[in-house]
Amino acid sequence: MEKDPKKEFYEKLEAKGVSRRDFLKYCTALTATMGLSYSCVGKVAEQIEQAAIKPRPPVVWLHFGECTGCSEAFLRTPDVGGIILETISVEYHETIMAAAGHQAEKSLHDAVEKYKGKFVCVVEGAVATKYNGAYGKVADRTFLEIANDVVPKAAATICLGTCACYGGVAAAAPNPGGYKGVGDALGINPVNLPGCPTNPLNLLGTILKYLGKETIELDDYGRPVFAYGESVHDNCPRLKHYEEGNFVSEFGSKEAELGYCLYEMGCKGPETYNNCPTAKFNDATSFPIQAGHPCIGCSEPDFWDSMTPFYEES
Ligand code: FSX
Ligand code: SF4
Ligand code: F3S
């Protein structure tokens, strides 16, 4: 007897430690992240079930100049990460694949040829452009060569993390290697999901919109408006204190315990566009400001240069 694919999907999630109740909890968080009303939770859950049942889109995942924090962010949130891995078919990913050396190179080549024009390319990390890309190599090929070879063969490209989007830490001054984001380095317009790291819910929301063939509205920096349309400050739980002038001036102070505003500690929430206060991290547990740390503007282009020093008074 043929197995019920929906049942099979839930069994697979269960095996990853994600109960049906957990799944619905993440669908609720995702619905809010995607800017939809609460009444759409059922529809979002159904979209994910359908995505997992249908042939999943092949994904080639590249790593260039970065810290892999963006992959870690979803691999270490097993619930959201587990759901993501059920909606896509990862054909190549250096951090999680078993292959190494020549075998790994072959699997990249084979995946790109087999799924030419059909795969989604997820890129983590910036591309070195000076000196023919000499400042960044994998398997004796520069990041620039690999990007020029693989990215044009993809059906769509998603830049994951501020490094892939705009250069990030590798492009911080004086940037000797001429690191750039993928869009700038290749002269293309990818979907940019910045953050250092990117919130895994924003990746999942983007994948679902892509699979549902929905138009993804982007802002001037290539970021989906559903996730990056409002500033951190707009939705900050400490906003009332900002308006009333209750500021924290040092870490560990009495004011910090009271949850006062972190603006005077250098918080960049007013200039930073991201949905951290509503989506949150670690399976929707917390985000920097909730944990008492000022926002450092990690989803903005050039934040390592333009938002520093992170701790000086504003
Ligand atoms: Fe950069 Fe992401 Fe910061 Fe790290 O992929 S955005 S350094 S969290 O890993 O690229
Ligand atoms: Fe705005 Fe930062 Fe204060 Fe929150 S903590 S209200 S984001 S300045
Ligand atoms: Fe980054 Fe600020 Fe959110 S530092 S994680 S954009 S609160």
CATH topology of 5-227 equal to that of 233-306? no
Q: Which CATH superfamily is domain 233-306 in?
A: Cytochrome-c3 hydrogenase, C-terminal domain (4.10.480.10)
Indicate if the pLDDT at residue 281 is higher than 70: yes
Atom of ligand 1 nearest to the CA of 71: 5
From 231, 232, 235, 239, mutation site for ligand 2 pocket: most ligand atoms within 8 A of C-beta? 239
Nearest CA among 133, 135, 165 for reference residue 149: 133
State yes or no: pLDDT of 172 exceeds 70: yes
pLDDT band (50, 70, 90) for residue 302: very high
- Mutational test site, ligand 3, from 265, 273, 274, max ligand atoms within 8 Å of CB: 274
Closest CA to 52 of 4, 96, 85: 85
* Ligand 3 near 111 CB (within 6 A): no
Query: So what's the pLDDT on residue 55?
Result: 86
Q: Outline where DSSP puts E strands in the chain.
A: 58-63, 89-93, 120-124, 127-128, 137-138, 141-142, 156-160, 179-180, 191-193
The alpha carbon of 218 and the centre of ligand 2 are apart by a number of angstroms equal to: 25
**β-pairing, 120-124 with 156-160?**
parallel
The set of residues, in sequence order, having a beta carbon less than 8 Å from that of 158 and lying 6+ positions away, is: 120, 121, 122, 123, 190, 191, 193, 203, 206
**Domain locations along the chain:** 5-227, 233-306
* Ligand 3 pocket mutation pick from 238, 287, 308 by most atoms within 8 angstroms of CB: 287
Ramachandran region of residue 161, left (φ > 0), alpha (ψ -120 to 50) or beta? Answer: left
pLDDT of residue 76 exceeding 90, the answer is no
The CATH number given to 5-227 is 3.40.50.700
Helix residue spans in 130-251 (DSSP H): 143-150, 162-166, 182-186, 200-211, 225-228, 239-244
Going from the Cα of 295 to the center of ligand 2, the distance in angstroms, rounded, reads: 8
- What's the whole-number average pLDDT of the chain? 93
Tell me how far the alpha carbon of residue 267 lies from the centroid of ligand 3, in angstroms: 10
Per-residue pLDDT tens over the stretch 192-244? 999 999 999 999 999 999 988 999 999 999 999 999 999 999 999 999 999 99
Among 31-35, 138-142, 193-197, 274-278, where is mean pLDDT lowest?
A: 31-35
- Evaluate: CB of 233 within 6 angstroms of ligand 2: yes
| pTM strictly above 0.85 | yes
Residues whose beta carbon lies within 6 Å of some atom of ligand 1: 66-70, 124-125, 160-163, 168-169, 196-197
Provide the pLDDT for residue 313.
55
Least confident of 34-48, 229-243, 287-301: 34-48
Using the predicted structure, report yes or no on whether residue 314 has a pLDDT greater than 80: no
CA-CA-CA-CA dihedral for 159, 224, 178, 187, to nearest 10: 90
Of 309 and 153, the one with more pLDDT: 153
